[in-house]
Structure 1
Amino acid sequence: METATQPKLELIQVADVVAREKGIERDEVLEAMEQAIQKAGRSKYGHDHDIRANIDRTSGAIELVRVTEVVDEVEDEMTQITAAAAQKRDPALKVGDLIVDPLPPIDFGRIAAQTAKQVIVQKVREAERARQYEEFKDRVGEIVNGIVKRVEFGNVTIDLGRAEAVLRRDELLPRESFRNGDRVRAYIYDVREEPRGPQIFLSRTHPQFMANLFKQEVPEIYDGIIEIKSVARDPGSRAKIAVISYDGSIDPVGACVGMRGSRVQAVVGELQGEKIDIIPWSDDPATFVVNGLAPAEVSKVVLDEEQRRIEVVVPDDQLSLAIGRRGQNVRLASILTGWDIDILTEAEESERRQEEFKTRSKTFIDSLDIDDVIAHLLVAEGFTSVDEIAYSPLEDLMGIEGFDADIAEELQNRALAFAEAERNRLQDRSAELCVAEDLLAFEGLALANIVALAEQGVKTLDDLADLAGDELIEMLPDAGLDQNTANDVIMAARAHWFEDEESEDGAADADAEAGEAHDETPAT
């Protein structure tokens, strides 16, 4: 008895060993074995039969059976039997029952054993991959340590112990190379299920790799006292991180630098000497941008909150420092702060202001028939267009030094008259150009811009919707459009296309419902 059960117990022991080595459930290994035995059984008794195998989880005893289903009408003679034929064998059988016939245990031949082995290996590999995916899918954003297993065409395969991961060439730091057996630290940025199994992708260039390295080196970040608000990296060259402290007694920059720079140097060493600027974060955009441009000094900033653009004026001798080599400093500051940054020297800014001052003064002199002194006062007070003068409260004009109520009222009347005359001129010109009503009614552009477009052949809302953003900017150079605003204008012009599609879909649905209702109406 003992000799008969010994091989069966060995089957359970093999399943235990494989499960332990591969880190998967014993049941999954035994199910793979059952499928292998099932496949071998079909090879012996015929592939058309429904052969099933079962391994007793305690004794390891193998049960091989052929299953036949009781049906009304036979479609497959090998796996089905009619109720009438089945009831000749057992009157209690009915449609839906399964007839289970035990089969003699099979003696695995060489081919059958090889097939069974392949099935077991395949199923165990699939189970192992599923286990890897389940284990690592929630670890995206972590730093892991591994050993280089192989390097192919610059891509590094890393053994993480219970899984393999890929560190692609473009995720390595510049001039960085690894050899088999090297220990590597990297950031998991993606885990994907692919046909060949789960793929774990690592990176050493990802901004969050640096942030997590600081988290490991600086206990205050780990404890949540200090937070890294944003990171910008030029991998292997330079980086900036913005930090904030939630404890007034702790300096966030000093904590990240560490005693004699020990903490930041640990991170720099891991990143192959990448220079790191640690910057205090501020919720005031102007302060944050000024901090972000360090080590350059800034003398003035002008914000455009709508466009998220900021103009920074620096002393002439600070220009190259603010821009950085190949624009690196300003580019990283822009990524860090989330604002587009334009840098001007004080001389350039002064020259531009003078040019704007002259242009606006000339516009007011020509439009309002005033002398240059009054025009200069209006520009100095911040008025940029005739419309602003026409539609501003009278008190704003009276507040200008040297202006009384009569002057303010006269200026506003002249501005209103000019604005009215300009509007009439533009309306006449749009009629001459046969501009379509839908474009004239479009609220995304001023009438002057619509006329300017019509003079270049854009005369309907569809014509405008067909343009690209850069084309619109090129056609309206004086409108002050940037790429985002131009794209927004075009998307607004295209809105009616989607409304038309929705109304067509709605009409089609209504027709379909009406048709159904008509079909359901009883004939009279």
Structure 2
Amino acid sequence: AQSAKQVIVQKVRDAERDRMYEEYINRVGEIVNGTVKRVEYGNVIVDLGRGEAIIRRDELIPRELYRYGDRVRAYIYDVRREQRGPQIFLSRTHPQFMAALFRQEVPEIYDGIITIRSIARDPGSRAKIAVTSNDSSIDPVGACVGMRGSRVQAVVAELQGEKIDIIPWTEDVAGLVVSALQPADVAKVVLDEQAERIEVVVPDEQLSLAIGRRGQNVRLASQLLGWDIDILTEAEESERRQKEFAERSTLFMAALDVDEMVAQLLASEGFSTVEELAYIDVSEIASIQGFDEETAGEIQQRATDYLAAIEKANDDERIALGVEDDLYEIPGLTAAMLVALGKEEIKTVDDFAGCAADDLVGWTERKDGETKRFDGTFKDFPVSREEAEEMILQARLKAGWITEADLAAGDEQLEEGAPA
């Protein structure tokens, strides 16, 4: 009888645990209110009434102190089924905790009229939030701030005085970074879309404001956009331009066997590579003041000869590395690229067909708000991800891994899935 009673009690407990798990797994993403039950090694155990939850020390806002009986609001970010019962994990530092608080305070967000597009937090210190409105008559920033700041101040109070910058979201990345770096003034923005990196030029006296205390302002702006941001002063940018001008001039002097004045003229006209001079219409070179068609033709011929010599040297190295001739038939691959592939032991069409686009052009990973860039084999070549994917498809076609029919079917699926 005792054994049967224990079995029944255990089944009741298991049923209660299952019920509690099912209840809270469906509440992930919600804010809950609870009472502090105890504090263990900095972790706060919260009584939710029908269960317990935990706020780990790293999910608490810095300098927050809780004692037995204190009321606490937090965000459910995870629920796990474990042997001793469901574990409910709460957070007060999660970006979505702030989003949920704004959803409670701003009816337009709750109703879906205003959308929170991105949030970046330095919990307890500062945050940036980007919002957009689906109704052109409603100002998303003003709605989130509220009358005399009442709405945003309610969120600030809950987050221990965390200052919140609310900015209007735009698909224009350059415009968005200008807003995200406020209150600093921005003089110039340069985007590198492939690397997801932004170079921002600010007046010299605005540098410390743009970077922020201990890098906080630029770090939050970077998290908000999901791009790396480099801050330069106007003086630093000017110095870099001068350095690049000198490097291009030196390159032209060596490659084209011209004097310094001619090299500087070419650089000042915006030419940055020998390839540009070799493949541009010769009339554009002839239009440079002081040049005639004969001089332009000679410069272009020297550029072509230089590139041919480089190509020959690269091809000799490619052969020495054992890279097969068949790879030359893949559109877009140059001798220099084949050398880079050979150094990575990619020497046959099958080897190349087995590559992923990441292997060639690299990839980025974001962790804890920091972006880390991993280089690919083609790091020194201006190859986009789309171009790399097309090269790999052509290699797989040549290797017999796929057929023309497979390619056509893939294109049809893309067209069917495209928006009308």
The interval holding the TM-score normalised by the smaller chain is 0.7 to 0.9
Q: Secondary structure at the match of 1:194?
A: coil
Tell me the residue number matched to 2:376: 486
CA distance in 1 between counterparts of 2:231 and 2:295 reads: 40
CA distance in 2, matches of 1:202, 1:398: 69
- Percentage identity across paired residues of the two chains: 65
Q: Against the structure 1 CA distance between its residues 383 and 160, is the aligned structure 2 distance closer, same or farther, given a 3 Å change threshold? A: same
Query: Cα RMSD between the aligned structures?
Result: 3.5
Counterpart position of 1:195 = 83
- Output the CA distance in 1 between the equivalents of 2:48 and 2:273: 66
1:437 equivalenced with 2:327 (yes/no): no
Q: CA deviation at 1:343?
A: 0.9
Q: Quote how far apart the aligned CAs of 1:139 are.
A: 1.2
Alignment of 1:122-201 (within 5 A): 122-201=10-89
C-alpha distance in 2, partners of 1:178/1:444?
Answer: 62
* 1:378 maps to 2:266: yes
Distance verdict in 2 for CA 1:393–1:485, change over 3 Å: farther
Distance 1:374 1:440 in 2: 38
Shift of 1:182: 1.2
C-alpha separation between the residues in 2 aligned to 1:166 and 1:341? 36
- Quick check: 1:248 aligned with 2:136? yes
Q: 2:140·2:168 contact (CA, 8 Å) conserved in 1? A: yes
SS of the residue corresponding to residue 202 of structure 1 reads: strand
Q: Assess if the C-alpha contact under 8 Å between 1:439 and 1:461 holds in 2.
A: no
Alpha-carbon distance, 1:276 to partner: 1.0
Aligned-partner residue type, residue 62 of structure 2: P
Residue in structure 2 matched with residue 336 of structure 1 by the alignment: 224
Q: Aligned pair in 2 of structure 1 residues 487, 235: CA closer, same or farther (>3 Å)?
A: farther
Structure 1 residues 166, 296: closer, same or farther in 2, change over 3 A? same
Aligned partner of 1:206 in structure 2 is 94
Q: Offset of 1:365 from its aligned partner?
A: 1.9
CA contact under 8 A between 2:341 and 2:347: conserved in structure 1?
no
- Kept in 1, the 8 Å contact 2:178–2:186? The answer is yes
Structure 2: how far apart are the matches of 1:486 and 1:121? 59
Question: 1:432-482: per-residue Cα shift (whole Å, max 9, x none)?
Answer: x5454389759998644765898xx766659999xxx9xx99xxxxxxxx9
Measure how far apart 1:242 and its partner are. Answer: 0.5
Check conservation: 1:304, 1:310, Cα contact below 8 A.
Answer: yes
Q: Distance in 2 between matches of 1:133 and 1:196?
A: 12
Deviations, residues 377-420 of structure 1 (Å, cap 9, x unaligned): 33233322111211234454455555554443332222111111
User: Which of 260, 283, 298 is residue 186 of structure 2 equivalent to?
Assistant: 298
Greater Cα shift, 282-291 or 320-329: 320-329
Q: TM-score, normalised on structure 1?
A: 0.64
**Structure 1 residue 183: Cα displacement:** 1.1
Aligned residue pair count:
373
8 Å contact 2:249–2:264 — kept in the other structure?
Answer: yes
Q: How far 1:198 moved relative to its partner?
A: 1.6
Higher Cα Rg: structure 1 or 2?
Answer: 1
Is the Cα–Cα contact under 8 Å of residues 439 and 460 in structure 1 kept in the other structure?
A: no
- How far apart are residue 247 of structure 1 and its match? 2.2
Provide the rounded CA distance (Å) in 1 between the counterparts of 2:307 and 2:178: 40
Give distance in 1, aligned partners of 2:344 and 2:19: 60
Residue in 1 aligned with 2:108?
220
- Whether contact under 8 Å (2:95, 2:121) holds in the other structure is yes
Contact 2:341 2:377 in 1 (8 A): no
Q: Could you tell me the TM-score, scaled by structure 2's length?
A: 0.78
Note closer, same or farther for the CA distance 1:373–1:177 as it changes in structure 2 (3 Å cut): same
Cα pair 2:337 2:378 within 8 Å, conserved: no
Give the match's secondary structure for 1:424.
helix
- Indicate whether 1:261 and 2:149 are aligned: yes
The residue type equivalent to 1:307 in the other structure is A
The 1:488/1:411 distance shift into structure 2, 3 A limit, reads: closer
Q: 1:423 aligns with which of 304, 311, 328?
A: 311
- For 1:359, which of 247, 252, 270 is the aligned residue? 247
Q: Structure 1 pair 198/487, CA: closer, same or farther in 2 (3 Å)?
A: farther
Greater shift, 363-372 or 235-244, is seen at 363-372
Once the two structures are superposed, residues 281-328 of structure 1 have per-residue CA deviations (whole angstroms, 9 ceiling, x without a partner) of 110011111111111111111111111111111111111111112211
| Inter-partner Cα distance in structure 1 for 2:136 and 2:147 | 19
Q: Is the 8 A contact 1:142 1:188 kept in 2?
A: yes
Deviations 1:82-107 (A, max 9, x none): xxxxxxxxxxxxxxxxxxxxxxxxxx
Unaligned runs of 5+ in 1: 1-111, 474-481, 504-524
- Alignment of 1:120 with 2:8, yes or no, is yes
Judged with a 3 Å threshold, the aligned counterparts in structure 2 of structure 1 residues 143 and 451 are, in CA distance, closer, same or farther, namely same
- In the aligned structure 1, how far is the partner of 2:294 from the partner of 2:265? 16
CA, structure 1 residues 215+362, in 2 after alignment: closer, same or farther (shift >3 Å)?
A: same
- The one-letter code of the counterpart of 1:319 is L
Q: Give the CA deviation at 1:266.
A: 0.9
Task: Look up the equivalent residue of 2:201 and give its one-letter code.
Answer: V
The secondary structure found in structure 2 opposite 1:307 is: coil
How many Å apart are 1:177 and its aligned residue? 1.8
Match of residue 100 from structure 1? none
Partner Cα separation in structure 2 for residue 488 and residue 409 of structure 1: 32
What's the counterpart of residue 239 of structure 1? 127
Match in the other structure for 2:369: none
- Measured after TM superposition, the shift of residue 197 of structure 1 is 1.7
Evaluate the alpha carbon distance shift between residue 400 and residue 287 of structure 1 in structure 2; reply closer, same or farther with a 3 A threshold.
farther
Q: In structure 2, what residue type is equivalent to 1:245?
A: S
The CA deviation at 1:187 is 0.5
Contact 2:34 2:48 in 1 (8 A): yes
Distance 1:393 1:144, change over 3 A: farther
Deviations 1:174-211 (A, max 9, x none): 11121121111111111121122221111101000001
- Distance in 2 (alpha carbons) for counterparts of 1:311 and 1:242: 20
Question: Does structure 2 conserve the Cα–Cα contact (< 8 Å) formed by 1:438 and 1:460?
Answer: no
SS at match of 2:314: helix
**Contact between 1:439 and 1:459, CA under 8 Å: does it hold in 2?**
no
